[in-house]
Structure 1
Amino acid sequence: MNALEKQNNTRIFGLDVIRALAILLVLFSHVYYLVDSSNPTVVSLSGLSGFAGVELFFVLSGYLIGTILLRLYITDDFSLQSVFVFLKRRWFRTLPNYYLILFVNLGIAFLLGYPSEYWYKYFYFFQNFKVYSIGFFSESWSLSVEEWTYILLPFSLFLVLKFGNKLSKKWTFLATIFLLILLAHVLRYFNMKNSDISTMEVWNTNLKSIVIYRFDTILYGVLLAWLHQFYSHFLDKYRVYFLILAAHLFVLQFVVLNVLGVDIISSPVYFLVFYFTLSSMIFFLVLPYFILWKSSQSLFSGSVRFISKTSYAVYLIHYSIVVVVFKYVLNQFSYQLPTSLILFIYFGITFLFAYILYRFFEKPIMNLRDKN
């Protein structure tokens, strides 16, 4: 492994905290379904935690791939070979787990009778590229957004550099990010003008989960990687203030605006164009505090690292495998298990199988990647 790879593989405790927090938020989002809760507060909090967890993952993913791409971009020739090396390393990280769990989900969908007529789209991440065609493995929508962004960003950087090779790499990288973020807003604007999204249910499937309208969320993390590379002192100086500002914006978006009655009917431009802009900026402002938190020897640091390392495996199996199958089994009982027992089994099974997937499949593949 070269020096750059070793540096990229050095664990930063603050990022482990973010991964652990994000996956726990996602896990909590399905609790209401498992325990058959119809309490509107619980349902609302579940929806918010799931959204926040995935958005946090998006921005974090952008920061990580942005850090790698930026170092390649400014230190190497950044040829097409650089792009394919980056993609190969990313695909070693994401695709083996994904395809393994996809086959498991295909089996579950067949056995339980879930709609699977678009199963072939999952192999190319087209199940929600432009149209929502997801009948099973519902959490795969976010993986499609990530995979297509992994392709879009490095090829865009290559093209911009090719036609602006006399310009500063520092600024062409930044310009590319802003152009792609602008493109996502333009696409959402034209979608608003040419579609009829009037309920949050339709918003969820026809906008929130569609690749061509969501790739910019990851790019805010890439923007943070650029700031960290060139202005780390600025981030270090103001990271606490950024965290406080993020907390206020979070309350504004998810509490104050709801209390004021701002909804998709009264404010379509906000909900259909700029809703994700604000949420992405919130998590963009959260991350500087954590990316500069290098290490910890606290009592819970081991647990945080464990949850972080298994977070990808947890995300892949937690809903379409654990929740769906567990719920099916629960429905076969003639009596209701205690809520505490249901939650204990849910979290226990999820982390047990996630650890097995990580330890005996994901980690060996990553080791193979780093050797080669």
Structure 2
Amino acid sequence: MISLLKIDVGCNRIFGLDILRCLAILFVVFGHGNLFFSGLTARYLDYFVLDGVSIFFVLSGYLIGSILIKELENKPFSNEVLINFWKRRWYRTLPNYFLILSLLIILSHFFSKDFQISHSLKYYIFSQNLYYPHPNWFPEAWSLSIEEWFYLIVPIILLLIIRLFSLSTKKAILITAILIILFATFFRYVKSLQIILENSRDWDINFRKQVFTRIDSIMYGVLGAYIAYYQNNIWHKYKKTLFSLGLILLISNKFFIKADLNSLYACVFSFSLNSIGTLFLLPFLSEIKSGKGKIYKAVTYFSLISYSMYLINLTLVKNWIVLHLEIDFINSYVTLVIKYLLYWFFTIVLSILLYKYFEVPTTKLRDK
């Protein structure tokens, strides 16, 4: 059993970024696990959870932005470079996603009365939440569509700016990042003038979980990659101060949002500050190259399987496995605790298996 779950940890990893990725996925799974509990208990536990998906967005933008900048600085931006970039990104993200999506469609088709396959087909082209609320089915897919549209749109905008205006990669990256950040921020502002929110769910589906309202979160990470590459002295000089400020922003932002969900702050600028807070963590964390001991291994493991954990923890594990288990003790609290522990157990074990026997092999195909 141990050998079945053993993962090969590569040597080309940055432990500080693994820490951030590990915390992000734990926040997500812990947050989804709160759905097991009553309203009061869930609200209390929520105080310990930050927005893990927003952290993923900025981290993804930083890593992909760094790859793009290095590629474009080493060779001219051509159609071949663009297609190669898409292939590498899609080999990394799409096989896992399509596998889980197809599995959920099959389960829903045979065991859910109201499910219609036609409603799920939009998930294959990531059109389920462009500028409108994400459907209730497979709800965690909302962030994946934002990521995939980022992969598709940003390189095209970069290529057009470079070719049409004969600008350098440095200028094109900065202009693209600023334009998309301004667009999404303005889009949220206009949307906030048109909608009256009744509760936190309205805020969630109308502002937090749409492509047009959140794609700027990834661009803050790209902006970080830009500063790290072109202004490296600034990136490292204030790393400790920025790290402290980033933590303050992330924690305080969580509580300010809840004060008034209809406020300009909650609907427009809270997302910007969340992204900036995460961005401020990166200079310090990106310099932590390695670690040791059991904590290092655990963090690296969770970091490696984070994508698989994100895909399966809520709909597949919680809704299709744990909630369908016939577990009923005399004490309802014991039953709840058992189901909660099984939720974590199945999420971790199945994610390791999915990562090791499907995600890694399909990712390796891109190098062939």
Q: Deviations over 1:300-347 (max 9, x none)?
A: 111111111111111101110001124432576364345543333221
Cα 1:48–1:296 shift into 2, 3 Å: closer
Q: 1:13 aligns with which of 7, 12, 15?
A: 15
Residue correspondences, number: 355
C-alpha distance in 1, partners of 2:121/2:164? 37
How far 1:135 moved relative to its partner? Answer: 2.9
Q: 1:339 to 1:130 in 2, by over 3 A?
A: same
- The one-letter amino acid of 1:363's match is V
State whether structure 2 residue 331 is matched by structure 1 residue 325.
no
Q: Is the 8 A contact 1:114 1:135 kept in 2?
A: no
Alignment of 1:172-187 (within 5 A): 172-187=172-187
**For 2:260, what is the secondary structure of its paired residue?**
coil
Q: Hey, what does 1:345 align to over in structure 2?
A: 342
**How far apart, in 2, do the equivalents of 1:368 and 1:18 lie?**
27
The yes-or-no answer on 1:287 pairing with 2:285 is no
Per the alignment, residue 312 of structure 1 pairs with: 307
Q: State the one-letter code of the partner of 1:207.
A: F
Taking structure 1 as the reference length, what is the TM-score of the superposition?
0.89
- The secondary structure found in structure 2 opposite 1:118 is helix
Q: Which residues of 2 match residues 94-113 of structure 1 at below 5 A?
A: 94-110=93-109, 111-113=111-113
Question: Distance between the aligned counterparts of 1:248 and 1:81, measured in 2?
Answer: 43
Which aligned pairs between 1:186-335 and structure 2 lie closer than 5 A? 186-255=186-255, 257=256, 262-265=259-262, 267=263, 269-330=264-325, 333=328, 335=330
Cα shift readout 1:255-290 (whole Å, capped 9, x = no counterpart): 3x36xx83024x2x2222212111111111112211
State the partner residue of 1:355: 352
Shift in CA distance, 43/114, structure 1 to aligned 2, threshold 3 Å: farther
Please tell me the residue identity of whatever aligns with 1:368. L
- Secondary structure, in 3 states, of the residue corresponding to 2:294? coil
Cα distance, 1:140–1:39 mapped onto 2, change above 3 Å? same
- Which residue identity lines up with residue 190 of structure 2 in the other structure? F
**Are the structure 2 counterparts of residues 347 and 15 from structure 1 closer, same or farther at C-alpha, using a change threshold of 3 Å?**
same
How far, CA to CA, are the matches of 2:293 and 2:329 in structure 1?
45
When normalised by structure 2's length, the TM-score is: 0.90
Once the two structures are superposed, residues 177-197 of structure 1 have per-residue CA deviations (whole angstroms, 9 ceiling, x without a partner) of: 101111111222222233343
Change (3 A) 1:230 1:148: same
Q: Report the CA distance shift for 1:219/1:362 in structure 2 as closer, same or farther (over 3 A).
A: same
Q: Secondary structure, in 3 states, of the residue corresponding to 1:300?
A: helix
**What residue ranges of structure 1 are gaps of 5+ in the alignment?**
1-7
- SS of the aligned residue for 1:293 comes to coil
1:91 matched to 2:90? The reply is yes
Q: Deviations over 1:60-115 (max 9, x none)?
A: 11111101111122221111221111011000000000000001111232314464
8 Å Cα contact 1:181-1:219 kept in structure 2: yes
What is the Cα-based RMSD across aligned positions, in Å?
A: 2.2
The equivalent residue for 1:160 is: 161
SS of 2:289's equivalent? Answer: coil
Native 8 Å contact 1:115 1:135 kept in 2:
no
Inter-partner Cα distance in structure 1 for 2:204 and 2:89: 28
Shift of 1:233: 2.7
The answer to whether the 8 Å contact 2:329/2:335 transfers is no
**Closer, same or farther: CA 355–281 of 1 in aligned 2, 3 Å:** same
Query: Counterpart of 1:120?
Result: 121
Q: State the Cα distance separating 1:235 from its structure 2 match.
A: 2.1
Q: SS at 1:220's partner residue?
A: helix
Q: What is the CA-CA distance between 1:172 and the residue it aligns to?
A: 2.3
Residues 250 and 274, structure 2, Cα contact 8 Å, conserved in 1: yes
Residue identity opposite 1:218 in structure 2:
I
Q: Decide whether the 8 Å contact of 1:105 with 1:136 is kept in 2.
A: no
Q: Does structure 1 conserve the Cα–Cα contact (< 8 Å) formed by 2:87 and 2:366?
A: no
Q: Secondary structure at the match of 1:72?
A: helix
Code of the aligned partner of 1:69? L
1:115-158 superposed Cα distances (whole Å, 9 cap, x missing partner) = 44511111100111122242311100000010001111111111
- 1:61 maps to which residue? 60
Matches of 2:11 and 2:152 in 1, distance apart? 21
Counterparts in 2 of 1:26-45, with a 5 A limit? 26-34=28-36, 36-39=37-40, 42-43=42-43, 45=45
Q: 1:297 to 1:344 in 2, by over 3 A?
A: same
Q: Distance in 2 between matches of 1:61 and 1:227?
A: 15
Asked if 1:366 corresponds to 2:356, the answer is no
Q: Secondary structure at 1:130's aligned position in 2?
A: coil
Q: CA–CA distance in 1 between the matches of 2:157 and 2:215?
A: 13
Instruction: Give the corresponding residue for 1:141.
Output: 142
